[in-house]
Amino acid sequence: MVIREVIAGTWKSCARKGRWHWIRFAVLMAVGWFAGQALKDSPYLTDLRYWVYRHQIELSNHGPVYPRRTVLVVLDDGDFWGADFAGRSPLKRAELAWILDRLREAGANTVALDVDLRAPHRTEPGFEFPDYQEEDAALLAAVGRMCDAGRNVVLGTSVLLDGDDYVEAPSLFTPVRANYPCLRAGYLQLPYDLRLVPGQLDLRGGRKLDSLSLEVVSLINPTAYRLAVSNEDRGFRFARYLSQGDYQSADGRRYVFNWQQLKSADINSVRRDIADKVVLIGGHWRANAQGQGPTVDTLHSPVGPLPGVFLHANYIEALDGERGTFAPVSDTTAEVIEFSLAIALAFVAALEIPSGWKWGAFFTTLLLSVILTYVLANLGIFLDFLVPVLILIGHTLVEEVMEMRTELYHLKLQRKGVNS
């Protein structure tokens, strides 16, 4: 009986609002929906999204976070501008060959190269400048030794948009890739939203190309790989993030080497640190000179600025880990939730109750959104509430302004009636 009376009272309050209230509500809903589509991929919300996401993940993180599957060889400022690499771009391939040999001797099973190895002429994959041919041969020989030892090398490659299709940019490996059975390729480009784990790309001709991280996972965990590529209908997954601080040495183990450390460390020590790990090679030096200019290949991520090689490692950790990725809620589900919340608040706004109660309902809705996000995150499901919440805030503020305007209008009429 009480519920029936509440429903009847709500219906009467809504009916007294008149058609213009509901026309305004429909217009606001339509504007909110189009605004949501425009804001969904907006770069202007990137920092806010990352801040919200970081705190969402912190709510669901119940244990220590550290790298379980990856070790990094990061060429830093001292390495790149030192005598060995001599500040040269492209990187000296003979030095990269030495790194591969060193890692092979230390027992690395899978090595991924996050370095630029593109061919100098896009239309001539087999062309190379004479000055570089000898060192290219040294790097190819090092890859061959990895193959002979039964190890794997994943080459970071690039993709280009040619018309409406993606094509793979040729590298120094393109003409000879078939000769190296252990050599795989994965594209290096990262998604616009760095929370997303990069997936597969459809190339011209019907071929699919995995990202660098996805290709690595296909080697170390085929089951996780199959699960990852089978969820395309829901969009690609979101990743739990490790910061550079999470890669600091701990418990006597090293997770990041630079060139000098890799050269000088005892081979048995290196073997202990990289055992059963994927080793990624990448760069993190200053662009102009030692100590000068911006740091190359650094992007703003949910845990602050991160070098690209750290990002690829994060995606490998996420895809290979049991709770490292979160399946995003489909767009349809998110829109249904968004409309449901907006409609519920519209009915609350229509009730003839004090404004404080209406704002209380609004903040309760926001709190329920946080709780729902927390529960879903613990179930491995990610729900991005940022855009719906912004739309709800805008909708509520507009309704409140319109309500105040109506009350002021009636108050003005009352005053005119008294004065007359």
Question: So what's the pLDDT on residue 325?
Answer: 80
The Cβ of residue 227 has, within 10 Å, a number of other Cβ atoms equal to: 15
For residue 92, give both structure tokens: 């000296």
Instruction: Assess if residue 2 is contained within a domain.
Output: no
Is residue 165 classed exposed, middle or buried when 0-12, 13-18 and 19+ CB atoms within 10 A define those classes? exposed
51 and 77 together in one domain: no
Instruction: Assess if residue 3 is contained within a domain.
Output: no
* Under 8 Å between Cβ of 300 and 47: yes
* Under 8 Å between Cβ of 100 and 111: yes
* Under 8 Å between Cβ of 52 and 58: no
99 and 211 together in one domain: yes
Instruction: Assess if residue 7 is contained within a domain.
Output: no
108 and 55 together in one domain: no
Task: Give the number of domains in the chain.
Answer: 2
DSSP labels, 239-306: E----TGGGS-BTTB-SEE-HHHHHHS-HHHHHHHHTT-EEEEEEE-BSSBTTBSPBTTEEEEBTEEE
77 and 42 together in one domain: no
For the entire predicted model, the pTM comes to 0.80
- Tell me how far apart the alpha carbons of residues 65 and 335 are, in angstroms, rounded to a whole number: 33
55 and 138 together in one domain: no
- Tell me how far apart the alpha carbons of residues 384 and 29 are, in angstroms, rounded to a whole number: 19
- Tell me how far apart the alpha carbons of residues 241 and 72 are, in angstroms, rounded to a whole number: 16
Instruction: Assess if residue 353 is contained within a domain.
Output: yes
Q: Residue 344, Cα to own-chain centre: how many angstroms?
A: 32
Angle at CA 212, nearest 5°, toward 207 and 214? 75
91 and 182 together in one domain: yes
182 and 280 together in one domain: yes
Instruction: Assess if residue 208 is contained within a domain.
Output: yes
Strand partners, 183: 153
For residue 104, give both structure tokens: 């092979």
138 and 264 together in one domain: yes
202 and 300 together in one domain: yes
Instruction: Assess if residue 279 is contained within a domain.
Output: yes
What is the span of the domain harbouring residue 16? 12-60+329-419
* Under 8 Å between Cβ of 355 and 403: yes
For residue 371, give both structure tokens: 């709780």
Question: So what's the pLDDT on residue 399?
Answer: 66
Instruction: Assess if residue 341 is contained within a domain.
Output: yes
Q: Per residue of the chain (420 residues), what is the pLDDT tens digit?
A: 445 554 555 555 555 555 666 676 677 667 766 666 666 667 777 787 788 777 777 776 666 778 999 999 999 999 999 999 999 988 999 999 999 999 999 999 999 999 989 888 888 888 889 999 999 999 999 999 999 999 999 999 999 888 888 899 988 888 888 899 999 999 999 988 888 889 899 998 889 999 999 999 999 999 999 988 886 555 678 888 898 989 998 888 899 999 999 999 999 999 999 988 999 999 999 999 999 999 999 998 888 889 999 999 999 999 997 667 877 777 677 667 766 766 666 666 555 556 666 667 667 776 777 777 666 766 667 767 666 666 666 666 766 676 677 667 667 777 766 555
Last residue of a domain, one of 320, 342, 372: 320
- Tell me how far apart the alpha carbons of residues 293 and 376 are, in angstroms, rounded to a whole number: 43
The Cβ of residue 262 has, within 10 Å, a number of other Cβ atoms equal to: 21
- Tell me how far apart the alpha carbons of residues 340 and 343 are, in angstroms, rounded to a whole number: 5
410 and 262 together in one domain: no
* Under 8 Å between Cβ of 321 and 68: yes
For residue 400, give both structure tokens: 């409140």
Instruction: Assess if residue 280 is contained within a domain.
Output: yes
Residues sharing a CB contact under 8 Å with residue 413, sequence separation 6 or more, in sequence order: none
Last residue of a domain, one of 274, 295, 320: 320
Q: Residue 415, Cα to own-chain centre: how many angstroms?
A: 59
- DSSP label at residue 117: -
357 and 305 together in one domain: no
159 and 263 together in one domain: yes
Last residue of a domain, one of 320, 355, 370: 320
